[in-house]
Every structure is written in structure tokens, then in C-alpha cells.
Structure 1
Amino acid sequence: MDALATPARRIGRAAALALAVGLALTACTSGGGGSADNVVKSEAPRQGSNDINPKPLEQIRDGGEVKFPLYQWITQWNPFQVDGRYGDAVDIMRVLEPELFKTDETGTFKPVADYLVDAKVTSTSPQVITYKLNPKAKWSDGKPLSYLDFKADWEASNGKKDGYNIADSAGYELISAVEQGADPAEVKVTFSEPYADWQNLFRPLIPAAGIATADDFNKGWVDKVPITAGPLKIGTADKTAQTLTLVPDPAWWGTKPKLDKVTFRVMSQSATTQAYLNNEIDFATAGTATAYGQLKDAKDTVIRSASPWDEVHISFGGGGPLADQKVRQALGKALDRNALIKIANNGVPVEFKPLGNHIIMPNQTGYQDNSGEWAKFDLAAAKKALDEAGWKEAGSGQPRTKDGQALSLHWVLNEATPQAQVDLATAAQAMWLAAGVKVEVDKVPSNDFFTKYVNAGKFDIASWRNTDSFPLSTSLTNFRLPQGDNVFGNFSKLGSEEIDGLLKKAAGTIDPAEAAKLYNQADAKIWELGHTVELYQRPTVVASRKGLANYGAFGLASTDYARIGWEK
């Protein structure tokens, strides 16, 4: 379970915008048994695959507990709020609140019958979606789900209300009306422009009573979930012990969950291997050489893998020397991505390949490599770009200078970073110094990495993962121009009207092939902008306790906590 991931799976399964396990927390260490270089690599799992030990409920025993790691304590629980996009928070919220649609292993949306009798397009001009709600569905305060909840979520997230610090207005800003339909259990949502990924909206649905004011929206979900409507609810949340439990909600109207309790305990990712071996948790990442080496032969353990929407990248800030696009482009050209990926991939059984797209993963239809010259290792071209930007060489091993200032940047690194990420950062430092750019690495506390640095845009260079920017329209939040103080998920604060226009047009294009063309055009512009250097799609490689059913490596599918349990 990869927690620090920005959205949008774990915002999806973590939806993922997400929110983000830093590359710092996921890159693969070069240690572990001494034979890591000899691990036989397999191709990443294909589209439509996942590995979760699927079992029907009749083959799962009643009761029991499953224990998972959590990489960061969850403070903001509102997934529509900018600080609430942390991956595991959204993943958990989708079992506490109504998740109207789930995705299967191919990434196809399926309505959830516990909440929806039906949901479909009932008009195309204008586009109207009619939702028929399950009349049994009720909030924990006793109120039935209704159009008022849809309306409140829309009004809070469309970017038109002052004081609402929203995470993403994509889709919501295109809605022109939310009304009651033929009866209180019917909701009509009308769009001013076509929106292809409407099924990804209202996921999860948040109660109107919980976001009535900006203060409720921003602060009412801090350290608490005031209203729920899911198969599980929070049992205990012990911030001192950094332990969270979910238990079945007796008011749940659907199929009763099998487990008595799901327990999450905060720990660093590097601590999960030993915790798993000590039977303190039942699931751990095996995506590092050290972890894989120790876990692959552990007793009662199965290694599972799949390819989710999950990418590892290096992001550039937009301040100081990096306000100049040529400097950002030079940094991209100075990096030997293949060498960096090799550091990350050492000792891991699934092959990492360079990622050439910010929006579409290699196992998704429509993928193409748009990186072009911007991610091609070319030291001479990097130096030339810096020359053109006015940064003069100062001699071998020295930073370039301009107007008496040295070209020195800071890489903000999570202090929980494993050795491989330190190795990767060290290698990148050397590559950049060869071009005349000095980069210093600053380690910051794990709990501050996103909230005080990444989310606040206080970095020159930083690495993290975006997870579950899926469906493709959710990518807008990662690259759109900020509006005032709202940066959405674009923590670099870099963008253009052209990129925004292409992404919005793609989101409104119903034909998947035509939409893919537009997304690829936008992606090419993102590469040219020098916004982010993509490294690789990160496959999920995990160790799961033998007998744990309906959980593992999900690929493009949603997590369903209510179906998790132990085989009979």
C-alpha cells in the first residue's frame, strides 16, 4: 500500500491525485543480498491485469483483522480540499463515503449498486447525466443521499466560491446545473460542455451537511470524518500511537464486510519489511532490492505485481533561476535517465523502462513517447541552453554564474528516503554539476515533505509519485495554471494557457482516439515547458500474507476494502 502518493489510486484507489509517496520513499535500494544485479527482470504486467487473489465472499471466513502500514498520519480527510489528496486518505475515504463507481482491472468504470440503481447519459445536447440513487443509502446522520449532496459538492469544487481551497475543479467547472429529477432519489446533472469522464466525478460523494461553509470545507474534516455512509467506519484514531482502525458500520445496508477490523499503523516505508517479517503487518512493498530480497522467500508470503497509473518523476520549481524555461530545459537534457532508472531498478524483478508521457501510461491505449529532445541526455545541448540563458561557465566542478550569483539549486528530499534515492539524487547532482549547476540536497521531516514544502511550492527540485491520474482528464490538476493562491495539484506552478486549453478540450472529447491525440499534444508541450522530467512507470511489487484475499497489486482497478478477508 503506497501511501504518499498524489492523486489521483489511492485518490482512486488512492485517487490519486493521489497524495504522494515520494520517489524518496519508493526508489529501489542498491543493497540487499549482494546478488541484486542478477535478479531476472520480467516485463511489466500488461493492461487489464491485476494480482489480488480474487475470491468470492463465500470462500472468505467471517471475522479477523488485516494490518496495513500507513506512511503518513492523515490530518485532512476532505478529498476535495487541496490538502486532502494524499493517496491513502482518499483510498480510505472511498470506503467511508459513497464511491458511486469503481474501476475494474481494465480501468473501466462500473456503478456500485449499493449507491446507484442506475447512472447514464440521458441527453447529449446539452450533456445530462441522470443518477438514480439506491433508496436504502443513508448518511450516518440519518439523511438519505440526495441531489443536495451532489449540488453541494459541485458548488464547493467548481472554483467559483471564495474561500474554498479546492484540490481540483476539473469537470465540476463544466457543470451548469444540479437538480432533483423525477423524485428525491433521482439526480440530474447538466453540463455546459461535454465531459467524457463524468463517472469520475463525485468520487467519493461528500455530504452537503459537512461542507456547508468554507470553514466546514477547509477545517471541518481535519482530524475527523464527521459524517459517513460506507461499509466501514473509523473505529479508533490514535494520533499519539499513530494507529487507525476501520470497523464494520452496523448501519450499512449492503453486504456486510468480512473482517472485524482493518488496522493501519504509521511507519516509514523502510520499516515495513521488518514489520512484515515480525507479523506486525500483513502487506508490505517489495519494490526495493533490499525489501524484495528479504520478502520473496518469507514464510507464508506471496509476491504480487501489476502496473497501475503510477509514475516517478523529478519536478522543477518555477522560482529563481528556474523561472527561465531554458534553465529547466537544460536540467532535463543534463540528466541521463537510463542511468538513474538503473539505480532504481537494481534488484527488483519487474523491468522499469523510461516513461515518455506525463498523462498516459505505457499499458494504456493512446500512449506515445513525447519526450523528444527534452529528455534526451545531451550534455553539450544542456550547456548551450545555459549559455543562452546567460549563465557563464566558471570552470570544471564550479557552478555557473550570472550577475554575480552562482547557479545553485536545492533538492528537497524526504528524510525517510531509502539509500537508493540518496544514490539517485547523488548521481543527478553529479550530472547537473557537469553542466555547471550546483544542487544541494535538503532533507526534511516526512510529515512536512508535502504539507510544508511540495504543496506550498517551496522547492527548486523535488521527487514524488503521481498516482491514479486516471481517467486521463484528472491530469489537468497536475499541470493547469494556478488561480490565485490555488495551485490545484500543480505544485511547480508552471503552465500555459495552451496546455490548459488542450487538456480541457481533451476532457470534453468523447471519442477516445481523438481525446488521446489532444492529450499527447498537451504532453509534448509539458515536456517543452520543462515542468517535469518523467523517469518511469512504477510497477506495484508487494509482499502479501498467504491467504489474504481480494487485496494485492491492483493495476488499474479500485480497492474494495469491504471484500478483503482471509480465505477459509
Structure 2
Amino acid sequence: MDAVTTPRRLGRALALAAAVALAVTACTSGGGGSAGDVAKSEPPRQDSEDINAKSLDQIKDGGEVRFQLDQWITQWNPLQVDGGSYNDTVDLMRTLEPTLFSTDASGTFRANPNYLTEAKVTSDSPQVVTYKLNPKAKWSDGKPLSYLDFKADWQASNGKNQAYNLYDPSGYELISAVEQGADPTEVKVTFSQPYADWQNLFRPLIPAAGIATPEDFNKGWVEKIPITAGAFKIGTADKTAQTISLVPDPAWWGTRAKLDKITFRVMDKSASIQAYLNNEIDFASAGTAAAYGQLKNAKDTVIRSASPWDEVHISFGGTGALADQKVRQALGKALDRSALIKIANNGVPVEFKPLGNHIIMPNQTGYQDNSGQWATFDLAAAKKLLDDAGWKEAGAGQPRTKDGKPLELHWILSDGTAQAQLDLATAAAAMWQTAGVKVDLDKVAANDYFDKYITPGKFDIASWRNTDSFPNSKSLANFRLPVGDNTFSNPSRLGTPEIDDLLKKASGTVDPAEAAKLYNQADAKIWELGHTVELYQRPAVVATRKGLANYGAFGLGQEDYSTVGWEK
């Protein structure tokens, strides 16, 4: 299932891993493309990346790299819910705005010297983080970066003023003060309680001048980026042609980017394969049977793979019949996950293994399978749960009934969904039918999929990918209880105070082993809640143009477009 992130990664995006609502596309071979039973390799190891890493002196000056973009970006503010929910927005804004820390392939944070000369915890009780800014760092309006930018981001994102339609308050809600330090280049951030993943905050940093009021925060970044401070700036943004280009910013104080231009062109995932084969783009996902079959032997192409924070799941809504936890639990028990995963994995060269955790991926330290009975195929137990919930059997092939109403649910699919994804959904629906649950597959317009159905919670069943919910503290947004109209990255709106408390406690636990215990306790409760049935961690399998350097499959790392280019 080559779907997308919704209100994130999310925990790194909705992270549930977008101002870019991507169409859900195929993960199987049915309905198109060469499939076949290809040889499977083990998923890439924990700290792996496959990006054709080259030093800058091995890369040509100039040139262009062309990428596919899933949908036109409307909201560019990554702190705002419609911007932060989609990975394409967040990734591009981390190129255009200050990213204080980046991550390497193992997920370790590294300070970015273009913005920071130093950043560290300078007090434990209370926790104080002191940032020392690079004095050369300036916004495009000429102002230097300062504590005022940190303060504005915190005040907009801490959840205290609901006029700010924010994406995720995690971490920001624990800050008690932001002040200038010893001089204008020093920033002191004080926390009301410990926060282990403080390096993930202010990624990117958004200028105070651009979010001075809730109106600016919510609407001032729609169809525009008022201020930047990165190696690149927007060259063109042609909504008619559906293309966005980035060009080097001559005001950049760091090492000049190697490329003259990076072009992003909006197209469906299904169209990107042919666009790659036509030499219209230089990078394409090869993570489905159809895509891999067409791309593996393409001219001047290298297939690369790594294991990012990227999962595929089936989500349940929280209204109607699904407001009953027993019904959601029954749906989980009625699924044969191994059969569904085989459909998805057919024709893809890296093995998809069942995922037993909503928060920690198998290639991360602390992973354990907490799925237990909730993801074990047990049709008899599923039927008993439905009986206990008052849904009575109505005969073979017929939906159960309660108070005269049939147990009929709707799986929302994008009309951009390829036949292969439909095969998987159809297989799941057939499994549920044997338990007495009728599931209709309803197609909706691709551009409406997230904005009108998933994000507002107007679905019974849906499937998408969460990507980049890393570090682990970002998972809170995916599962926390809504506050008023703010559902964070949890469109099903399902949660419990206990899960919230465990995730918040884990995010404040500095000892990684102790934090992992708490995350796993929370994950076990998420499984029991019947929130989401995890299927598998989706390995990144991508096709890159031969000679493309410092780009490909990043694992837990972050791309750096300023180092991307063509080998000499």
C-alpha cells in the first residue's frame, strides 16, 4: 500500500507520517505491472541508508534534479495542522527554513552548524536547554535568528491558545519559558518537566514575523512562504503547471548548494513510474510489485532500499457501530494479517514482516511485539465479541443485526487507488464478511481523501501510511485524545487518558530503556483499544537515476538537498 501520511510522523508529519493529500496506491501486483514471485531480501539493518553518499568535491556544480510531488501544497506552515500533517510540506520547509538538528541513518540527532554553534542541556532541574546561534544566520527579511523566533513558535504550538490551529503540541506544551541568554545569539528554553526529545523541537524553526497572530499562523502561509532562511528559496511556484522549483539562495551564508535547481512536479504515484521511464523525473518509488517490475531494469537506474519509520495499517473510526470497543477488537481478530501482507509483498524484493508495534519500528532499539491476542487471527473469538456487543448472526453471508439495523461499514478509498490496493481491501472485506460484518468499499476523489474524509474522521475503515513518527515522542499526536476541535494526528478520535499519560511520561523519561518500557506499555493499550491494526513496516525501495548522489533511501535519516547533485 503505497499510501500517505496523515496527521503525523506525523508522529515526522497528519504523522499519524501532510499539506499534501496523497492518493492511496497499490502495494500488490493485482491489476497491473509485472509481479511474479521475486526473491526476497531481509529488511535493511538498523542503521542502514542507501543514498550513494559522495563528498561535495565528487559532485558536479550545477544541474537539476526532478522529483514527483503528490499534491499541490496549499498550507506551507508546518506548525499548522494542515501543513504539519503532510510530509512533503515538512520536508520542503526543512530545506527552506532553519532545521536546527538533522538525523543520521541510525536516527541520531546532529546539530546543524549553519544555525547552531552549540546546543545542550545546561540544567537538569528544571531542564534548561541553551542554544547558541550561528551569528551569520539571518532570515530573508534581514533579521537575525533570535529567541523571539523560538518564543513565537512555542507560544503558537503549546496549545494554550486554541485560535492557533496547531499540528502537534508535543514538547512545546512542556516548555515554561523562552528567554534570551547571555547575548542576542543565545537562547534559553526552560521546561516544566523533563523532555527527552528536545532536539526534535523547532524542526524547522518558523520566523516570529510570520506567525505574530493566529491569523498569520493559520492563513499567512497559504499559497506562499513569507520568509525563509535556508540554502534554497522558492524559484517558481506555478499552480497551473503544478510545478515548484527551488533555487540556491544567494543570501545563504553556508556552503552553496551543488544544484542550480530542484523541480517538483505534481502527479499521481501511478503516473510517476511512467514519468521516470520517460526521463521526466529522476526518482520514483519502487515499493510495489507493479512499480518494481517496471523500474528494476530501467535504463540508467539503481534500485536502493533502507528501513525508514514507515508503517502500513488499517484504521478504524470511532463512531456508529465502531464506537464499541468490542466491535473494533472483533474486526482485528477477524483479519488474517499474514495473508494480507503476502498480497502486499508479492513481487517486491524486500520482505514485509508483520509489525507488532505502533510506536517503535523493528529496526529501532526497544522494539517489541505487543499485538498479542488483538492481531491473532481467531474467527471464533471475533464472533464472540460481536455476540457480546449485541450484534446477532443473521445467517451465512448476511450481516449481523442489532436493533433491526445491519452491521454495515464503509472502507474509504481514494479513486486514485490502483487495482492491487483494491485487491487487499477486497480480501480484508471478505474476511470480515465471514464474521458477519458487511464492508462496502467506497471510492472518493483523491484530492478529497484526507481533507474531506480522513482528517475530519468521516470514515469507518481506511488504510494509509504513517511515516516519520520519529523520535518516539511524536507518537503522542497519533493517539492522543482530542482537545475541542483539535484532533492532532488522530483522525479516528479514539484514545484514553491512560494512553496519553503513558506516552507523556515516556517522552519525559531520559533513560532510553525506561522510556521504551513506557512506550511499549502504551502500545499494548493501543492494541487493546482497537485503534489500528498494524500490518507491516514498509521498507523504502526506490529507483534513482544513475549518478544521483546523496539521495535515495535514507532509513531513519533526513535528506539534505544542499548536498544532492550529480557525480562528476
TM range (shorter): over 0.9
Deviation by residue 1:510-559 (Cα, 9 ceiling, x = unmatched): 00000000000000000000000000000000000000000000000011
CA–CA distance in structure 2, aligned partners of residues 339 and 21 of structure 1? 28
For residue 24 of structure 2, give the secondary structure of its aligned residue in structure 1.
helix
Q: Which residue of 1 aligns with 2:78?
A: 79
Q: Which residue of 2 aligns with 1:390?
A: 390
1:407 has 2:407 as partner: yes
Q: Which residue of 2 aligns with 1:279?
A: 279
CA–CA distance in structure 1, aligned partners of residues 153 and 33 of structure 2? 51
Moved more, 483-492 or 239-248: 239-248
CA–CA distance in structure 1, aligned partners of residues 500 and 432 of structure 2? 30
Q: What are the residue-to-residue correspondences of 1:89-488 with 2, within 5 Å?
A: 89-488=89-488
1:57 has 2:56 as partner: yes
CA–CA distance in structure 1, aligned partners of residues 184 and 379 of structure 2? 64
Deviation by residue 1:47-103 (Cα, 9 ceiling, x = unmatched): 000000000111110111100001111111111111112111100000000000000
Moved more, 184-193 or 265-274: 265-274
Distance 1:264 1:465, change over 3 A: same
For residue 303 of structure 1, give the secondary structure of its aligned residue in structure 2.
strand
For residue 380 of structure 1, give the secondary structure of its aligned residue in structure 2.
helix
Tell me, yes or no, if the aligned pair for 1:105 and 1:556 is still in contact at 8 Å. yes
Shift of 1:5: 2.3
Shift of 1:25: 2.4
RMSD of equivalent CA atoms: 1.5
CA–CA distance in structure 2, aligned partners of residues 267 and 10 of structure 1? 22
CA–CA distance in structure 2, aligned partners of residues 100 and 55 of structure 1? 23
Shift of 1:28: 2.9
CA–CA distance in structure 1, aligned partners of residues 162 and 496 of structure 2? 23
Tell me, yes or no, if the aligned pair for 2:6 and 2:466 is still in contact at 8 Å. yes
For residue 350 of structure 1, give the secondary structure of its aligned residue in structure 2.
coil
Deviation by residue 1:235-260 (Cα, 9 ceiling, x = unmatched): 11111111111111111110100111
Q: Which residue of 1 aligns with 2:494?
A: 494
Tell me, yes or no, if the aligned pair for 1:399 and 1:407 is still in contact at 8 Å. yes
Q: What letter matches 2:148 in structure 1?
A: L
For residue 25 of structure 1, give the secondary structure of its aligned residue in structure 2.
coil
Tell me, yes or no, if the aligned pair for 1:32 and 1:293 is still in contact at 8 Å. no
Distance 1:283 1:7, change over 3 A: farther
CA–CA distance in structure 2, aligned partners of residues 79 and 329 of structure 1? 34
CA–CA distance in structure 1, aligned partners of residues 166 and 226 of structure 2? 19
For residue 448 of structure 1, give the secondary structure of its aligned residue in structure 2.
helix
CA–CA distance in structure 2, aligned partners of residues 327 and 50 of structure 1? 41
Moved more, 136-145 or 445-454: 445-454
Tell me, yes or no, if the aligned pair for 1:23 and 1:313 is still in contact at 8 Å. no
Shift of 1:15: 9.6
Tell me, yes or no, if the aligned pair for 1:4 and 1:88 is still in contact at 8 Å. no
CA–CA distance in structure 2, aligned partners of residues 146 and 453 of structure 1? 40
Q: What letter matches 2:122 in structure 1?
A: T
Tell me, yes or no, if the aligned pair for 1:10 and 1:90 is still in contact at 8 Å. no
Deviation by residue 1:152-199 (Cα, 9 ceiling, x = unmatched): 000000000131111111100100000000000000000000000000
Distance 1:33 1:90, change over 3 A: closer
Q: What letter matches 1:49 in structure 2?
A: S
Tell me, yes or no, if the aligned pair for 1:11 and 1:87 is still in contact at 8 Å. no
For residue 244 of structure 1, give the secondary structure of its aligned residue in structure 2.
strand
Q: What letter matches 2:79 in structure 1?
A: F
Deviation by residue 1:477-499 (Cα, 9 ceiling, x = unmatched): 00000000000001100000000
Identity of aligned residues (%): 77
Shift of 1:11: 8.2
Deviation by residue 1:204-249 (Cα, 9 ceiling, x = unmatched): 0000111111111111111111110000111111111111111111
Distance 1:245 1:297, change over 3 A: same
For residue 199 of structure 1, give the secondary structure of its aligned residue in structure 2.
helix
Q: What letter matches 1:456 in structure 2?
A: P
Shift of 1:32: 5.5
Q: What letter matches 2:470 in structure 1?
A: F
Shift of 1:7: 6.1
Shift of 1:42: 0.3
Q: Which residue of 2 aligns with 1:551?
A: 551
Q: What are the residue-to-residue correspondences of 1:19-38 with 2, within 5 Å?
A: 19=18, 24-25=24-25, 27-30=27-30, 36-38=35-37
Distance 1:377 1:526, change over 3 A: same
For residue 351 of structure 1, give the secondary structure of its aligned residue in structure 2.
coil
Distance 1:3 1:207, change over 3 A: farther
Distance 1:33 1:252, change over 3 A: closer
| Structure 2 residue runs without a partner (length 5+) | none
Q: Which residue of 1 aligns with 2:65?
A: 66
CA–CA distance in structure 1, aligned partners of residues 284 and 526 of structure 2? 34
What number of residue pairs does the alignment pair up? Answer: 565
For residue 341 of structure 1, give the secondary structure of its aligned residue in structure 2.
helix
What TM-score comes out, normalization by structure 1 length? 0.97
CA–CA distance in structure 2, aligned partners of residues 249 and 495 of structure 1? 44
Moved more, 211-220 or 190-199: 211-220
Tell me, yes or no, if the aligned pair for 2:17 and 2:310 is still in contact at 8 Å. no
Q: What are the residue-to-residue correspondences of 1:494-513 with 2, within 5 Å?
A: 494-513=494-513
Moved more, 513-522 or 395-404: 395-404
CA–CA distance in structure 1, aligned partners of residues 141 and 363 of structure 2? 43
Q: What letter matches 1:197 in structure 2?
A: D
For residue 24 of structure 1, give the secondary structure of its aligned residue in structure 2.
coil
Deviation by residue 1:447-486 (Cα, 9 ceiling, x = unmatched): 1111111111111111111111100000000000000000
Q: What letter matches 2:462 in structure 1?
A: A
CA–CA distance in structure 1, aligned partners of residues 156 and 26 of structure 2? 34
CA–CA distance in structure 2, aligned partners of residues 451 and 190 of structure 1? 36
What TM-score comes out, normalization by structure 2 length? 0.97
Shift of 1:31: 5.1
Q: What letter matches 1:277 in structure 2?
A: L
Shift of 1:27: 2.0
Q: Which residue of 1 aligns with 2:533?
A: 533
